[in-house]
Copies of this chain bind each other. A is one copy, B any other.
């Protein structure tokens, strides 16, 4: 089958690999220039954390090792208090599991190479989808508007602000929502300090400050990419270099010390928005063509569980499975793929919940004690009691199943605690 994928970002490229492996002819259209020859966009989610769901999707294509070679493992979180005190909290019970910091641009280049290595994949850059006609796709290019014959199947992998989804949304009967947080994000850089990492590169660094937070992920060049997640008015409030410096010196003193270009970076880098988008269904017929959505185009989520790209990669595995189950009947496969919405709804909610955890709770002793108890339980009852973070980040268990399992564990833990209390009471009565 001839398939068009709109968007040659992470998910579009990975899907191209999966579809071409199934023998389909894939044309990828991307609005930006080829990132392998042009420079990366500045200050827009420069790096991300790849964990098991993403790695599994790469592994099935034999790409995992190559990708992970460029990534830096982060086995835990490092919390930075205002007084400079550091607290490390491992992500898994035995400290062996890590999420992996990788540059979005490097990953995208690798996946583009992987996609184009398939003889039945063609990529066209500088093509911005402007409309879907009757059996045609209209693009804007530097050379003016271009109309291409649409393939029978058009998959939108064109991100949160998907142009493909815009056409699906206009169909009566398509539910849709976009919900913004009152928070913006801004990226900054901590350069190497005397040629070395300024902080431990084996952690995701968090500066939890209640309503606001900053995080930092290590890069192979020994710098860190920082991201501020602040209320919009707070971001707008620092409107002079002096105010920026003063605020950072007070709130993030250890970071301020190692950020020589802080004020100019702050002034120059754009503010991003944080949005959750939901669409239902993810497929339909537009202009006589079968249209489907994957990744952020179908279910953009906020970044606080580090699952955006991982979830999109798992979409590709799931869509591949749906094609397998339906004998590559795309109409049936896209219908079947809709079952994944139960999962993406869960991770959308968890990602929103995790923001509160990251910016506020991780700084509290009670929270850290809870995590230690949780990890102790996991070690005592291996495979029986598993934390939600472990299930989300270090397994490929469908997200909705993760929530069902957590609910079962809690019921069971409640019953066990009650049984222990009764046993204790009986013992106490006996020995009194």
Contact = CB atoms under 8 A, between A and B. Distances in A.
Interface of A: 169, 172-180, 232, 273, 275
A398 to B, nearest CB: 25
Total copies of this chain within the assembly: 2
B169 A174 contact: no
A172 B180 contact: yes
A169 B275 CA distance: 13
B176 A177 contact: yes
A275 B175 CA distance: 9
A259 B232 CA distance: 60
Contacts of A180: 172-175
Contacts of A176: 176-178
A273 B173 CA distance: 7
Nearest to A182: B173
Nearest to A179: B175
Instruction: Choose among A178, A179, A273 the residue with the greatest number of B CB atoms under 10 Å from its CB.
Output: A178
A128 to B, nearest CB: 15
12 contacts: A169-B178, A172-B275, A173-B232, A174-B178, A174-B180, A175-B177, A175-B180, A176-B176, A176-B177, A176-B178, A177-B177, A177-B179
A169 B177 CA distance: 10
A159 to B, nearest CB: 13
A273 B172 contact: yes
Contacts of A275: 172
Given A169-B178, A173-B232, A174-B178, 15 more contacts: A172-B180, A172-B273, A172-B275, A173-B180, A173-B273, A174-B180, A175-B177, A175-B178, A175-B179, A176-B176, A176-B177, A176-B178, A177-B177, A177-B178, A177-B179
A179 B279 CA distance: 10
Contacts of A173: 180, 232, 273
Nearest to A272: B172
A112 to B, nearest CB: 27
A231 to B, nearest CB: 12
Contacts of A174: 178, 180
A185 B236 CA distance: 48
Nearest to A169: B178
A179 B173 CA distance: 8
A33 B195 CA distance: 72
A138 to B, nearest CB: 16
A26 B232 CA distance: 35
A346 B175 CA distance: 20
A172 B177 CA distance: 13
Contacts of A178: 169, 174-177
A145 B176 CA distance: 30
A44 to B, nearest CB: 13
Contacts of A175: 177-180
Contacts of A169: 178
Nearest to A181: B173
Contacts of A273: 172-173
A138 B175 CA distance: 28
A180 B173 CA distance: 6
A175 B180 CA distance: 6
Nearest to A175: B179
A182 to B, nearest CB: 9
Nearest to A178: B176
A177 B275 CA distance: 13
Nearest to A278: B177
Closest 6 CB pairs of A and B: A177-B177, A172-B273, A173-B180, A175-B179, A176-B178, A175-B180
